[in-house]
Structure 1
Amino acid sequence: MGEAATRLRGQLRELLRARIPADFRGAFTDDPVDLDIAQRFCRYLAAQGLLCLAWPEEFGGRDASVWEQTVVREEMWAHHEPRGAQYMGVNWVGPTIMRHGTSEQQRDHLPPISRGEVIWCQGFSEPGSGSDLASLRTAARRSGDGWRISGQKIWTSYATMAQWCFLLARTSTGDRKQQGLTVFLVPMSDPAIEVRPIRAMLGPHHLNEVFFNDLEVTQAHVLGTVGEGWKVVQEVLAFERVGIARYARCERLLQTAPGVLGDDWDDLPAELRGRWTRMLVHCRRARLLAYRVVAMQSEGRVQPSDAALYRIAVTTLDQHSAEVLTEIASYATSSNEDAERFRLDVRDHWNYSQAATVASGSIEMQRILLARTLLPAAS
């Protein structure tokens, strides 16, 4: 990545040590203090020009390289993502508005994202149409000069705290289900929107149901062209999937294990140490696949299948490394603070990993997408 990226990585690690408690395990725990820590840290990053540093200056960035933004992404995910939900706005909501939004939408939405002041949620999945997103039923019907939106979304992360929703709804029908879909940018404060949390072992805020009860919107809420939302969403998903650098978290935990176990490391079975080594190799593989997609995105030629390949690698890494780390943690007999923190970190990693192959598009759908690209005659 170069010397600039190396310096940036060191700078970020110093900031994390100085401003994030050692026992921090993400913004979305049962303790509201953790969310407050993330929100304050996010605004601090923004004030230092480190939140959206690869964005153009006119939109609140520093015109830095995509590789410097990748360093930020990796260091944040390696340390329990202390930006909270801001990665959505930074990685894909903001860039999508830059490419498809009107000047008014860019003026209204991009500055708050670049300052770390706003949280977005994503209104995509529905009951019965999660992996098959194009089959969604949420409908936007013409009402005067605008639309009335009715329907239900599910698994919507951060909906309880978000100020805005990046919503996909059907505005018309066509020969193919991908036709007639439109993206709307809607305020979550509207009384026509109801949010119901879903209890889960991931903790609060991660999973919610969202109901749209005749939500009234105008043309100003439409992102891009009416009926062309599927093209926007395909672009969004490519950015979203590579924007979750879980390989950095896996590698940090794996690298931490020998030092935490100390003399107990010698008691690990040779087979388990071998699996630990393979997981480190898999971390590097996932990282290189991510870099391949980042390079393609910087040239404007990324395809959904490229992101699918990375997503398959990183989600399987998540789960396989969680299994290996859980076994390793069982050999940590010490009761010191570092060992206890390691055990808790591994448990948190295992909990998150269980949803990895379903979130952001199931692994089965990623494999189908990849297969259709490799074998076009079969699609």
Structure 2
Amino acid sequence: MDFRMGDSARALRAQLRAMVREHVPADFLGAFTEDPADLEVAQRFCRLLADRGLLCLAWPAEFGGRDASVWEQTVVREEMWAHHEPRGAQYMGVNWVGPTVMRHGTPEQRRRHLPPIARGEVIWCQGFSEPDAGSDLASLRTAARPEGEGWRISGQKIWTSYATMAQWCFLLARTSRGAEKQHGLTIFLVPMERTGIEVRPIRSMMGPHHLNEVFLDEVRVGPADVLGTVDDGWKVVREVLAFERVGIARYARCERLLQTAPSALGDQWDTLPTELRGRWAGMLVHCRRARLLAYRVLSLQSRGTVSPGDTAAYRIAVTRLDQDSAEVLTEIVGHGRLTDVDGRRFQRAVQDHWRYAQASTVASGSIEMQRILLARTLLAAS
């Protein structure tokens, strides 16, 4: 495997870092805080990326992209995650909602949805998980009852990121029941302003967050809202989850924080216990391993040969990296006295990383489910 990206990728990376330095505050820790200004920073930065043709770099030109390679888009993804995701919620539309609409949407759906995503003007949320259907998503109970040429949807979704600010929902609901629970599921593209949708934020001990409950009460949808084929949505869901899981480049943030630690501590770095510095070095190796796994999955996806086991292996590695690196970084910060501006900024970034890492092994499919997927793939190949 040769994953050297070349001079163009290095130039793109330098361009993105310069844009972040110029347009994103140094103490920015993400769009989803108690301060509304942070979300506005992300929205402005998205529009700036779009104006320069960098938001949807690898999309076809006809849909607002630049026909760039998947590797150039990977550079964008890595730099955004390394700098606390100044695209805000846009990565969802860019990474998988838009590409899924390209592959499965009607010409009208493509015309309606792709240009706003490419311009950074719209936020999407994902209506998948439910109180009794998280890792076992196919057990969902949200139902679409036939009415005339359309349906009425009722049910509840949970852990729905960005629902308070999203304009559209990529919603999965049951339209019929068959012998297998994966059959009879349909994807709907639903505007969040539609009558019957209620959003309730979920507060947690980890501080400000973007998670919500979504209640649907007789929400009216029609044939034009269906993505793909009625009752055959599970095929699309499997594809979506693969793109979603590899599209979250949190290894880039882990690596940047780890590499920043020695300069943030200054002379105090040499006073750290040898064992702790050894674990720090081990985490950098873990970062490289997760990065190479991501690159392997991206290469397989670009050739159309990726399997659930491939994405599961990556997801296991990166979620463990998230949590293990957070523990090491927290210990490093605890050994130092960070009193200058850069030191305190680093400490806040580590604290933010630790909070979000607590949920990493259950988000986007629990690590237990990823291990099951990986085991099934290995057994099938044996």
* Superposition TM-score, scaled by structure 2 size: 0.98
Please say if residues 330 and 354 of structure 2, whose CA atoms lie closer than 8 Å, have aligned partners that are also in contact: yes
> Does 2:303 match 1:299?
yes
Alpha-carbon distance in structure 1 between the residues aligned to 2:205 and 2:305: 38
User: Structure 1, residues 179-231: CA drift from partner, whole Å, max 9, x if none?
Assistant: 11000000000121000111024544521110110011000000000111000
| Aligned positions of 1:7-22 closer than 5 A | 7-22=11-26
> Does 2:65 match 1:61?
yes
Unaligned runs of 5+ in 1: none
Name the counterpart of 1:117. Answer: 121
The aligned amino acid for 1:191 is T
Name the counterpart of 1:80. Answer: 84
User: Structure 1, residues 122-169: CA drift from partner, whole Å, max 9, x if none?
Assistant: 000001111100000000111000011110000001000000000000
Instruction: Please point out which of 101, 118, 133 is paired with 1:129.
Output: 133
Name the counterpart of 1:95. Answer: 99
Name the counterpart of 1:330. Answer: 334
Name the counterpart of 1:175. Answer: 179
* Superposition TM-score, scaled by structure 1 size: 0.98
Matched position secondary structure for 2:335? coil
Aligned residues: 378
Name the counterpart of 2:34. Answer: 30
1:342, distance to aligned residue in structure 2 (A): 0.7
- Are the structure 2 counterparts of residues 204 and 270 from structure 1 closer, same or farther at C-alpha, using a change threshold of 3 Å? closer
Please say if residues 161 and 205 of structure 1, whose CA atoms lie closer than 8 Å, have aligned partners that are also in contact: no
The aligned amino acid for 2:95 is N
Please say if residues 338 and 347 of structure 2, whose CA atoms lie closer than 8 Å, have aligned partners that are also in contact: no
Matched position secondary structure for 2:346? helix
Instruction: Please point out which of 7, 10, 14 is paired with 1:6.
Output: 10
**Identity rate of aligned residues, in percent?**
76
Name the counterpart of 2:360. Answer: 356
Instruction: Please point out which of 231, 244, 247 is paired with 1:243.
Output: 247
Matched position secondary structure for 2:59? coil
Matched position secondary structure for 2:141? coil
Please say if residues 13 and 75 of structure 1, whose CA atoms lie closer than 8 Å, have aligned partners that are also in contact: yes
User: Structure 1, residues 307-333: CA drift from partner, whole Å, max 9, x if none?
Assistant: 111000000000000000000011221
| Aligned positions of 1:272-283 closer than 5 A | 272-283=276-287
Unaligned runs of 5+ in 2: none
Please say if residues 58 and 68 of structure 2, whose CA atoms lie closer than 8 Å, have aligned partners that are also in contact: yes
Name the counterpart of 2:155. Answer: 151
- Are the structure 2 counterparts of residues 108 and 274 from structure 1 closer, same or farther at C-alpha, using a change threshold of 3 Å? same
Higher mean alpha-carbon deviation, 80-89 vs 369-378, is at: 369-378
**Over aligned residues, Cα RMSD in angstroms?**
1.1
